[in-house]
Amino acid sequence: MSRKSWAVAAVGTGLVLSSAVAFAHHGTNASYDPKKEVTLTGTVTKFMMVNPHGQLFWDVKSQDGKVVSWGGELHSVGLLRRSGWTRDTVKPGDTVSVRGYPSRAGTPFMVVQEVTINGKSYFRDLPEQGAGQ
Amino acid sequence: MTRSVNILRVGCAVVILACSVTVLGQGGGRQGGQAAQVPKDPPPIPCVNDWQRPNGCAPRTGTLSPRDLSGLWMRVRGANNLTQAATALLTPQGRAVFERNKPSFGPRAVPPVLGNDPLGKCDPLGLTRNLMTEVAARSFEFSHLPDRVFQFFEYAHQYRTIWVDGRSLPKEPEPRWMGYSVGRWDGDAFVVDTLGLDDRNWADMWGHPISTNARVQERYRRPAFDTLELQLTINDPDFYSKPIVTETKVHRLQVERAIDERMELFCVPSEEEAFNQAIRNPAGGVGNK
């Protein structure tokens, strides 16, 4: 499990769009790059098993000691349950390795594919996930 | 048949033996002044995350009634969208609408905030999109009544009525998100005809349009106890130069205890907004309000 340090840069063009933000989600591959899979190990700060997507936040310490707070989106509650998740699967303070596809915009967010905690892996694991993206 | 009888015999023998052991155990408990043991739940079936059979679990077995589609189904094979084959059939009128639709999926995907996908506003997804897309990761359920069949979609708690009392389709239906549907049996195929779809629907999540003059036919077959097939035909001369016939989509019966009931998944605008604020907007490099 390798640690990677990430330089996080806001994308200027995004700021122009802020006034248009209200509703609009889904469209995973439009927001994340499946060709740049990363795995980041860190300490959980928050886990929310909610709809429309579960949310995981964790701090990743880089080699120079800088801490970057990452956010990851998971599936909906029903799908997480079907994949074996519960509300107690991940707790603040847990050390986790999170594999996923990072934001195309370069911000510290990813769509999570796998979370490993205490040697056990929990997967996003859906059929034909790429087919409709 | 012989195998079934043998299984039944073995099963009865096991039950009788188990009952004997239980009675003996309870008798001993009473004699010793101890409370009777409360039977424990059977251990969970290990194969829970099953929709990727055959790599996962063994086939489900049971009594096949081809004309009973009851149960919870989740798609395991088939495309989520109409694909570029449908794009090639767009009429000029259809293409104009297609160009106005800005999807967040497929070859024309844009970040959601730049698009106009009805999904982002929790608008109903409509019939064909429910049938093609949302059932790939979430289930649907058929429930038969004498005069109608209900089809419940897990996503957004949507449902439709399929009339099976012999009525005809209305000649001038008021447009509806899910259309107006009648069903009939053609041999062991359940054939559902629908018209009167609201043209605010997108036919799929790639932004293919569908008009109020479209007619949709679904053909369901249940060739095995745990397998349900569906082929869709969309005849929409306003928007497509030829009828679109999909591949056969395959759905698996969801029978494990952990997944044999529909989950609650409403599309809640406030939840959508909270998610966008926390994750999707910053992930897209877009600031929040």
| Closest Cβ–Cβ partner in A19, A29, A55 for B278 | A55
Distance CA A39, CA A88 (A): 22
| pLDDT tens, residue by residue, A100-131 | 999 999 999 999 999 999 888 887 654 333 33
Residue B45 has pLDDT above 80, yes or no: no
| Min distance B127 CA to chain A CA atoms (Å) | 17
Percent of the residues in chain B that have a pLDDT greater than 70, as a whole number: 75
| pLDDT tens, residue by residue, B69-111 | 998 888 888 888 998 899 999 999 999 999 999 998 888 988 7
Q: Strand B189-195 vs strand B215-224: parallel, antiparallel, or unpaired?
A: antiparallel
Mean pLDDT across B244-260: 79
Distance CA B207, CA B203 (A): 7
**Res A131: pLDDT:** 31
B267 touches chain A (CB under 8 A): yes
Mean pLDDT across A64-79: 92
Question: In terms of Cα–Cα distance, which of B133, B126, B132 is closest to B210?
Answer: B126
**Res A101: pLDDT:** 95
Distance CA A18, CA A75 (A): 25
Mean pLDDT across B149-168: 95
- Give the confidence band of B113 by pLDDT, cuts at 50, 70, 90: confident
* Cα B261–Cα A82–Cα B266 angle in degrees, nearest 5: 60
Question: In terms of Cα–Cα distance, which of B46, B47, B27, B45 is closest to B37?
Answer: B27
Domain ranges of chain B: 71-278
| pLDDT tens, residue by residue, A27-60 | 677 788 889 999 999 999 999 999 989 999 999 9
> Which of B3-12, B176-185, B277-286 has the weakest average pLDDT?
B3-12
Domain ranges of chain A: 29-123
| pLDDT tens, residue by residue, A8-24 | 333 222 322 332 333 34
Chain A neighbors of B118, CB-CB under 8 A = none
| pLDDT tens, residue by residue, B189-200 | 999 999 999 999
Question: How confident is the prediction for chain B on average, in pLDDT?
Answer: 81
Chain A neighbors of B115, CB-CB under 8 A = 24, 27
Cross-strand bridge partners of residue A43 = A59, A95
Beta strands in chain B (DSSP E): 71-77, 140-144, 148-153, 158-163, 180-186, 189-195, 215-224, 227-235, 244-245, 249-253
Cross-strand bridge partners of residue B193 = B182, B217
> Which of B5-9, B55-59, B114-118, B188-192 has the weakest average pLDDT?
B5-9
Percent of the residues in chain A that have a pLDDT greater than 90, as a whole number: 49
Chain B neighbors of A131, CB-CB under 8 A = 79-81, 136
Report which of residues A38 and B59 the model is more confident about.
Answer: A38
Sign of CA dihedral B86, B88, B89, B94: positive
Report pTM. Answer: 0.74
| Min distance A54 CA to chain B CA atoms (Å) | 9
Mean pLDDT across B203-210: 96
Buried b (16+ CB within 10 A) or exposed e, B245-279: ebeebebbbbbbebbeebbebebeeebbbbbbebb
The answer to whether the CB of A117 falls within 8 A of the CB of A94 is yes
Is CATH 1.10.510.10 what the domain over A29-123 is classified as, yes or no?
no
Residue A62 has pLDDT above 80, yes or no: yes
- Give the confidence band of B162 by pLDDT, cuts at 50, 70, 90: very high
A27: left (phi over 0), alpha (psi -120 to 50) or beta: left
Q: Strand A109-117 vs strand A67-73: parallel, antiparallel, or unpaired?
A: parallel
Residue B66 has pLDDT above 50, yes or no: yes
Looking up tokens 């297609």 gives: B98
Per-residue 3-state assignment (H helix, E strand, C coil) for A62-124:
CCCCCEEEEEEECCCHHHHHHCCCCCCCCCCCCEEEEEEEEECCCCCEEEEEEEEECCEEEEC
Chain B neighbors of A58, CB-CB under 8 A = none
Cross-strand bridge partners of residue B71 = B142
| Closest Cβ–Cβ partner in A24, A51, A132 for B276 | A24
Fold classified for B71-278? Lipocalin (2.40.128)
